[in-house]
């Protein structure tokens, strides 16, 4: 019992320390994404707090961090701009349309969880997963490069650039070497504290969280508790016109949010060798976005960078995400002046180490060892993630993989031909029969030159879809039109039911009385012995 509590106490310490580190890293990210979306920094910070807290408590993946993300922010830009154009100058109507969209987005995500759609993340092939990881690492790296520029968008020069690079390198060095000395200290948090102390006590003139917010047009990190947005109901009319406007945005945001969250969940599962609950995560993400929309946040989803910081720091339980969210709110309410002094270079160094840890470097080694199509998928997903966004990249990767799979299986259809003593020609079909293999299937038969009696045996084939049923139906009609008799054997029960519904004459074509042990074993799994003792040798 003592060991049990000691283990839990140790985990609690790791969760708390890693949560504090994540909270520090969340600040510039949330602020930056708020600027991208065209809203006030507090809208991004409130989203990071509320989404992070709710998903940590109710989500399906302990240790995963959620908040405002760039993938969602880039979609929100046009939504906010179009919404502002609908109102008077200075009315800021786009912000309230954003809140309404986030609420609808959350409802869609909750429905996805209720309908148990989260399980479909398991259909994502491994090359897509590796491409997603590599692409996201590149996106995180590129996003950090913007922090090497001034408010005018010009790159730092001279001493300013060298100081920035030195502080970033020092942060990375601490994170790299500290674990080699001791694993009891959270390297990311220690690195941020050390570099911040050097900047503050050395009075170095470098970019900080505070200057970053002010350069972006914000007034600072200081704020109050999130307030219920009653103006949503008065400023956003609840009618069909509004649904037509925000509906497409809500669907896109819900899809991007769920894909990014479930892919991150899958990645954390692999790292921690545990199993998260995808459907529960869908409902938690949706519920969090509904609450966030009502309380003035820009919505969010899982954040792979912060999630990896948390996991690397030892955060495994729900406490780490809760600490990160509560600490972020504490910063907003009470410690804004201190957090604004944290140098951007320290946070950039942490994110660069995340990039190094995220990128699947093994993909370079295995590219020549895996099938060419898998290599193409891996590279394509990586590039599309950088070029467009994560959702499009994953969908494109899954489509490419599915088409390749269909093409490969389409080539596996075979027909073994033999003659019975009574002159009946037997076609024994091997391989899956589906839309992709229909052409090859039809090419196997010679209706004109076949004898008067033909049997088609499907015992080694599986009829998979409506296209396959239609091909069988058309083949029977061709033989009957030629005045020949055709019989079908070993069709599955569901296939026979569908063919009987299509045309009652199939009862005369399909052979029901089968005397073949292979067929009965395949149709009735109970026929297999349940243990070795049931085998009679």
In the structure encoding, which two tokens stand for residue 2, read together?
Answer: 């003592």
Domain identity same for 225 and 246: yes
| pLDDT higher than threshold 80 for residue 534 | no
**Which residues does residue 208 pair with via DSSP β-bridges, in sequence order?**
343
**Which region among 5-19, 55-69, 151-165, 217-231 has the lowest average model confidence (pLDDT)?**
5-19
Q: What is the pLDDT of residues 403-426, one digit of tens each?
A: 888 888 888 888 999 999 889 999
Mean pLDDT of 115-141: 83
472 three-class SS: helix
Domain identity same for 357 and 435: no
67 three-class SS: strand
Domain identity same for 387 and 284: yes
Mean pLDDT of 521-532: 44
Judge contact between 242 and 86, C-beta under 8 A: no
Judge contact between 318 and 57, C-beta under 8 A: yes
pLDDT value, residue 57? 94
Examine residue 535 and state whether it is found in any structural domain, yes or no: no
| pLDDT higher than threshold 70 for residue 528 | no
Examine residue 343 and state whether it is found in any structural domain, yes or no: yes
Examine residue 200 and state whether it is found in any structural domain, yes or no: yes
Give the gyration radius of the chain's Cα atoms. Answer: 30
Q: What is the CATH number of the domain that holds 443?
A: 3.30.750.24
Q: How far is CA 533 from CA 41, 397, 520, 526, 530, in A?
A: 70, 47, 21, 15, 8
Domain identity same for 382 and 472: no
| pLDDT higher than threshold 50 for residue 121 | yes
DSSP string over 71-105: HHHHHHHHHHHHHHHHS-TT--HHHHHHHHHHHHH
pLDDT value, residue 426? 93
Residue 489 host element (H or E): strand 485-489
Residue 338 host element (H or E): helix 336-339
**Residue at which a domain ends, from 401, 436, 456:** 401
Domain identity same for 449 and 340: no
**Which region among 96-105, 357-366, 481-490 has the lowest average model confidence (pLDDT)?**
357-366
Please tell me the total count of domains within the chain. 2
Percent of the chain with pLDDT over 70: 92
Residues 449 and 456: their CA atoms lie apart, in Å, by 16
Q: What is the pLDDT of residues 322-380, one digit of tens each?
A: 999 999 999 888 888 888 888 989 888 888 887 888 788 888 888 888 888 899 999 99
Examine residue 517 and state whether it is found in any structural domain, yes or no: yes
Domain identity same for 216 and 365: yes
Examine residue 534 and state whether it is found in any structural domain, yes or no: no
pLDDT value, residue 292? 96
| pLDDT higher than threshold 80 for residue 217 | no
- Given pLDDT bands bounded at 50, 70 and 90, which one contains residue 6? low
In the structure encoding, which two tokens stand for residue 88, read together?
Answer: 């008077």
**Residue at which a domain ends, from 366, 401, 436:** 401
For residues 304 and 484, the model is more confident at 484
Q: What is the pLDDT of residues 153-186, one digit of tens each?
A: 889 899 999 999 999 999 999 989 988 888 777 7
Examine residue 537 and state whether it is found in any structural domain, yes or no: no
**Which residues does residue 414 pair with via DSSP β-bridges, in sequence order?**
430
pLDDT value, residue 530? 46
| pLDDT higher than threshold 90 for residue 495 | no
Mean pLDDT of 15-41: 83
What is the bridge-based pairing of β-strands 301-302 and 485-489? unpaired
pLDDT value, residue 96? 93
Domain identity same for 354 and 422: no
Residues 270 and 276: their CA atoms lie apart, in Å, by 10
Domain identity same for 243 and 171: yes
pLDDT value, residue 516? 52
The chain-wide mean pLDDT, for the chain, equals: 85
Domain identity same for 196 and 84: yes
Domain extent for 382: 8-401
- Given pLDDT bands bounded at 50, 70 and 90, which one contains residue 192? confident
Domain identity same for 363 and 448: no
pLDDT value, residue 9? 59
Q: What is the pLDDT of residues 259-283, one digit of tens each?
A: 889 888 988 888 888 888 999 999 9
Residues 171 and 350: their CA atoms lie apart, in Å, by 7
**Residue at which a domain ends, from 343, 367, 401:** 401
Domain identity same for 204 and 55: yes
Examine residue 394 and state whether it is found in any structural domain, yes or no: yes
| pLDDT higher than threshold 70 for residue 119 | yes
Examine residue 406 and state whether it is found in any structural domain, yes or no: no
Judge contact between 137 and 358, C-beta under 8 A: yes
Domain identity same for 384 and 415: no
Residues 242 and 252: their CA atoms lie apart, in Å, by 16
For residues 463 and 215, the model is more confident at 463
């Amino acid at each position: 019992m003592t060991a049990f509590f000691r283990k839990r106490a140790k985990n609690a310490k790791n969760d708390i320390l890693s949560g504090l580190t994540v909270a520090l890293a969340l600040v510039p990210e949330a602020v930056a994404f708020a600027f991208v979306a065209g809203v006030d920094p507090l809208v991004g910070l409130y989203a990071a707090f509320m989404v992070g807290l709710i998903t940590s408590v109710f989500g399906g993946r302990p240790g995963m961090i959620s908040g405002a993300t760039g993938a969602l922010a880039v979609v929100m830009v046009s939504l906010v701009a179009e919404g502002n154009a609908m109102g008077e100058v200075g009315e800021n109507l786009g912000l309230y349309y954003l809140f309404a969209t986030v609420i609808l987005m959350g409802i869609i995500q909750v429905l996805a969880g209720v309908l148990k759609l989260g399980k479909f993340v398991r259909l994502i092939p491994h090359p897509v997963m590796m491409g997603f990881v590599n692409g996201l690492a590149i996106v995180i790296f590129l996003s950090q490069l913007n922090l090497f520029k001034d408010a005018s968008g010009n790159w730092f020069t001279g001493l300013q650039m060298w100081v920035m690079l030195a502080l970033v390198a020092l942060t990375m060095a601490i994170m790299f070497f500290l674990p080699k000395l001791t694993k009891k200290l959270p390297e990311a948090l220690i690195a941020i504290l050390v570099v911040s102390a050097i900047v503050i006590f050395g009075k170095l003139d470098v970019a900080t969280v505070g200057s970053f917010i002010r350069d972006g047009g914000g007034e600072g990190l200081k704020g109050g508790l999130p307030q219920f947005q009653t103006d949503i109901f008065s400023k956003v009319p609840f009618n069909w016109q509004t649904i037509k406007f925000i509906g497409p945005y809500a669907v896109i945001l819900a899809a991007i949010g769920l894909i990014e969250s479930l892919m991150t969940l899958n990645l954390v599962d692999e790292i921690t060798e545990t199993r998260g609950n995808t459907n529960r995560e869908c409902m938690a993400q949706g519920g969090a976005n509904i609450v966030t929309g009502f309380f003035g946040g820009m919505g969010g989803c899982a954040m792979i960078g912060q999630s990896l910081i948390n996991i690397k720091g030892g955060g495994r339980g729900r406490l780490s995400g809760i600490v990160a969210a509560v600490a972020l709110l504490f910063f907003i309410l009470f410690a804004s002046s201190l957090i604004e002094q944290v140098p951007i270079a320290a946070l950039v160094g942490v994110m660069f180490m995340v990039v190094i840890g995220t990128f699947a470097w093994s993909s370079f080694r295995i590219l020549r060892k895996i099938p060419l199509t898998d290599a193409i998928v891996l590279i394509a997903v990586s590039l599309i993630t950088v070029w467009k966004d994560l959702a499009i990249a994953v969908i494109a990767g899954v489509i490419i993989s599915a088409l390749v799979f269909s093409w490969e299986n389409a080539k596996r259809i075979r027909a073994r031909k033999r003659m019975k003593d009574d002159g009946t020609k037997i076609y024994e079909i091997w391989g899956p029969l589906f839309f992709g293999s229909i052409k090859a299937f039809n090419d196997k038969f010679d209706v004109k030159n076949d004898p008067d009696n033909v049997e088609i045996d499907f015992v080694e084939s599986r009829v998979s879809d409506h296209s396959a049923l239609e091909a069988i139906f058309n083949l029977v009609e061709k033989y009957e039109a030629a005045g020949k008799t055709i019989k079908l054997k070993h069709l599955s029960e569901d296939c026979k039911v569908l063919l009987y519904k299509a045309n009652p004459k199939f009862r005369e074509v399909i052979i029901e009385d089968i005397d073949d042990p292979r067929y009965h074993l395949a149709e009735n799994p109970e026929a297999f012995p349940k243990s070795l003792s049931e085998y009679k040798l």
